[in-house]
Structure formats: structure tokens, C-alpha cells
């Protein structure tokens, strides 16, 4: 049994990692500031040790990594528009905290750090799909911060022989993604609006595309990255290699939910990437990764989860 630290373990992706690790019989510790995470996300996961604290405080990072074999670094303040509005707060969470964690992990003799990187690093580079060897072109503070922490990981591998792997995520979605903030991921926002019979907003013409990735695929990729032999120091895309426009996404969800509403079109968002699709051959080669769940199946699972969770919340109130 290995001992895993999941930073941001009370968040959307982090809680799925904890669930799978526990299911596999591993030992799990979580550190989470609860700025965006929620204790409720872990309510169904048994035997998780929980540290409430902010990794931007170095003493929290030191405490969190003590006795740990593998660190899965998910803690971050996500969202492109949030970082455009408040770059200082997101910089602290996405860069300062990551550096603290790397130093603490190095000093504690952690075996490997697997870092949650972002597809936003590619910006609007014209070639599709995005290959890891392409030059990066961050368009927002969020994209830049994720890239800086990714480069810190690689530097720590070179300078201090701390094993690190960056997994670049591509628009992850699934159960427990929180739709309650204007900064939430688009799929969670659309599902909630359509289930409530409201019109979702599409920023721009809706022809921008994303490689929307169901969360179980990311969990599989990240856990493979902990043990993969030749992965240390590498940056690896984990996604589906698909490409869906916002207009297509809206149409699929409208059919699935059965809502007779039209979207509202608004101006494009500052810092928004136009098209995003991953080449996943490196993940196949180094991690033995292939997507487990398709986009369509993932959408169905997520809608089902949303319906079940709102029904149980309503039943709880009556
Ligand atoms: C970006 C990253 C993603 C990362 C996320 C963290 C890229 C390609 N992707 O996602 O890997 O996980 O940041 O926050 O850079 N939109 C609407 N209506 C809405 C909300 C969003 O039309 O109500 C549009 C956005 O303008 C965007 C798309 O939907 O074009 C996706 O937005 P969002 O879900 O916020 O994720 P990204 O910013 O693409």
C-alpha cells in the first residue's frame, strides 16, 4: 500500500482521484484550503486523512508531504476569466503554492509528483491536434501560471532529481463539477441552466471547440503517471483526441435534457482560446493510456448525476 497526497482533494477532480485510490486500497491524505473545494465532495470516501490549509503557507506544505510516496497536485484556482479579473490571487494559488509544494516534496523524499497542467498552455497555436513539443503561447494569467508551475516541475527534476510528471488536462467535466459560480466549467453551467429551463449563454459565435474530457479518463491517466517507468520529467496530454464546438455541446445537452430553449449569444471572453484538441499518442506510448469513457457517455453520466443530486437536495428540504 502506497501513501498518496492529493492536493485540492476536496475539489472536483481531486475527489475523484481520492475515490479511485481508496477503491484500490491505497492510503490517502488530502490537503485543501476549501476556497473552492468542499468537504461534502469526500463525504462518501472512507478513511481519508484531511488537512485543511493553504499550500501558499510553507508550513502547510511541509506538514502535508510528511511520509508521502506520491503527490497528486490538483490544488489550484482554476478559470481563465477569474485569473483575468484577479491575477494576484490566482498567481498565489497556482504558482507560489506549487513552488512550496515542490520544495517540501523534494525535502521529504517524495517518490514522484504528478502535476495537473493545462491545455491552455497551447494558446492559439494554429496546428491541431496539440502535440506536447509545440511552442507554448499562454493567453491568460491562468494559462501562464499553469505553465510556470509545469516548468518548475521539470526544473526540479533536472536540478534536484525530484521525479515529476505534468499531465496537461483538456476541459475536464463530470459529476461533482460545481455549477454555482460564473467561473464554473461550461458543461456544468449548461446542464444546470437547461435543467432549470433557463437559457445558457454562449460567449462568441459558439464555433470554438474543446476536447472535453470525462473525469474518469483523467483519473486513469494521472494514476498511470505515478508508476510509469519513462515518464519522469515529461509533459503529457491526457484527453480524448475529440473536438466539439460549443454549439454542438449545447445541442447535445438540449436533446439529452429535453429542454426547449435557445442559447443567448454574448461577446467572446477575453483570453479565450479558439480551438483545442489533444494529440494523445505520447500518453499511449508512455502511460499505456487510452480514453475509457467517450464524450457522449460522459455527458449522459454527468446529466444523470446532476438530476440525482438536485432531486436528493429537494427531497432533503421537504
Ligand atoms: C481552460 C482550459 C482548461 C482548464 C480550464 C480551467 C483551454 C483550451 N482549456 O478552459 O483545460 O481546465 O481553463 O478553468 O484553455 N463558455 C460559454 N458560456 C459559459 C461558459 C463558458 O460559452 O457560460 C465558453 C468559453 O468562452 C470557452 C468554452 O465555453 O470558449 C469553455 O469554457 P470553460 O469551461 O470556462 O473552460 P476554458 O476556459 O476553455
Each residue's pLDDT tens digit in the chain (318 positions)?
999 999 999 999 999 999 999 999 999 999 999 999 999 999 999 999 999 999 999 999 999 999 999 999 999 999 999 999 999 999 999 999 999 999 999 999 999 999 999 999 999 988 999 999 999 999 999 999 999 999 999 999 999 999 999 999 999 999 999 999 989 999 999 999 999 999 999 999 999 999 999 999 999 999 999 999 999 999 999 999 999 999 999 999 999 999 999 999 999 999 999 999 999 999 999 999 999 999 999 999 999 999 999 987 777 765
Our answer on whether the CB atom of 120 is closer than 6 Å to any ligand 1 atom is yes
Our answer on whether the CB atom of 273 is closer than 6 Å to any ligand 1 atom is yes
Our answer on whether the CB atom of 83 is closer than 6 Å to any ligand 1 atom is no
Q: What pLDDT score was predicted for residue 129?
A: 98
Calculate how far, in angstroms, residue 80's C-alpha sits from the geometric centre of ligand 1: 7
Kindly give the residue spans of alpha helices, DSSP state H, lying in the chain.
12-23, 58-65, 80-85, 87-91, 97-108, 141-160, 186-195, 215-227, 246-257, 281-287, 295-317
Q: What pLDDT score was predicted for residue 311?
A: 86
Q: What pLDDT score was predicted for residue 103?
A: 99
Distance in angstroms (rounded) separating the CA atoms of residues 176 and 309: 9
pTM of the predicted protein model: 0.97
- Which of the listed residues 85, 120, 183, 188 should we mutate to test ligand 1's pocket, taking the one with most ligand atoms within 8 A of CB? 120
Calculate how far, in angstroms, residue 48's C-alpha sits from the geometric centre of ligand 1: 31
Closest CA to 209 of 310, 128, 309, 105: 128
Q: What pLDDT score was predicted for residue 18?
A: 98
Our answer on whether the CB atom of 118 is closer than 6 Å to any ligand 1 atom is yes
* Residues 6 or more apart in contact with residue 180 via CB below 8 angstroms: none
How far is the CA of 204 from the CAs of 50, 68, 264, 266, 282, in angstroms? 41, 45, 10, 6, 32
Residue 120, all three cell numbers: 491552455
Q: What pLDDT score was predicted for residue 313?
A: 79
Residue length of the chain: 318
Distance in angstroms (rounded) separating the CA atoms of residues 21 and 314: 31
Cβ proximity of 271 and 80 under 8 Å: yes
Interior angle at CA 55, CA 88 and CA 143, nearest 5: 45
Distance in angstroms (rounded) separating the CA atoms of residues 99 and 263: 41
- Please pick, among 4, 142, 214, 289, the residue that the annotation labels catalytic: 142
Cβ proximity of 229 and 258 under 8 Å: no
Interior angle at CA 128, CA 277 and CA 200, nearest 5: 40
Q: What pLDDT score was predicted for residue 317?
A: 66
Distance in angstroms (rounded) separating the CA atoms of residues 224 and 221: 5
Q: Is 142 a catalytic residue?
A: yes
Distance in angstroms (rounded) separating the CA atoms of residues 73 and 222: 10
Closest CA to 121 of 95, 141, 92, 93: 141
Amino acid at each position: 500500500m502506497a501513501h498518496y497526497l492529493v492536493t485540492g482533494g476536496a475539489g472536483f477532480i481531486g475527489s475523484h482521484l481520492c475515490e479511485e485510490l481508496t477503491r484500490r486500497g491505497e492510503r490517502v491524505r488530502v490537503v485543501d484550503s476549501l476556497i473552492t473545494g468542499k468537504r461534502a465532495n469526500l463525504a462518501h470516501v472512507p478513511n481519508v486523512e484531511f488537512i485543511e490549509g493553504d499550500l501558499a503557507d510553507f508550513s502547510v506544505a511541509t506538514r502535508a508531504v510528511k511520509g508521502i510516496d506520491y503527490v497528486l497536485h490538483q490544488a489550484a484556482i482554476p478559470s481563465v476569466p477569474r485569473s483575468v479579473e484577479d491575477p494576484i490571487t490566482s498567481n498565489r494559488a497556482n504558482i507560489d503554492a506549487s513552488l512550496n509544494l515542490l520544495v517540501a516534496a523534494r525535502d521529504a523524499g517524495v517518490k514522484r509528483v504528478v502535476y495537473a497542467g493545462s491545455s491552455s498552455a497551447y494558446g492559439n497555436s494554429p496546428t491541431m491536434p496539440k502535440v506536447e513539443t509545440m511552442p507554448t503561447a499562454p493567453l491568460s494569467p491562468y494559462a501562464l501560471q499553469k505553465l510556470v508551475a509545469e516548468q518548475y516541475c521539470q526544473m526540479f527534476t533536472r536540478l534536484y532529481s525530484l521525479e515529476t510528471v505534468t499531465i496537461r488536462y483538456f476541459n475536464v467535466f463530470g459529476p461533482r463539477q460545481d455549477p454555482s459560480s460564473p467561473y464554473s466549467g461550461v458543461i456544468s453551467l449548461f446542464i444546470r441552466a437547461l435543467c432549470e429551463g433557463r437559457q445558457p449563454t454562449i460567449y462568441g459565435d459558439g464555433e470554438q471547440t474543446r476536447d472535453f474530457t470525462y473525469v474518469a479518463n483523467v483519473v486513469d491517466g494521472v494514476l498511470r503517471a505515478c508508476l510509469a517507468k519513462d515518464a519522469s520529467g515529461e509533459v503529457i496530454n491526457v484527453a480524448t483526441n475529440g473536438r466539439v464546438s460549443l454549439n454542438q455541446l449545447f445541442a447535445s445537452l438540449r436533446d439529452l435534457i429535453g429542454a426547449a430553449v435557445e442559447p443567448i449569444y454574448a461577446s467572446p471572453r477575453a483570453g479565450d482560446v479558439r480551438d483545442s484538441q489533444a494529440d494523445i499518442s505520447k500518453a499511449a506510448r508512455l502511460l499505456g493510456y487510452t480514453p475509457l469513457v467517450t464524450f457522449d457517455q460522459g455527458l449522459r453520466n454527468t446529466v444523470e448525476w446532476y438530476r440525482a443530486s438536485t432531486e436528493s437536495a429537494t427531497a432533503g428540504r421537504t
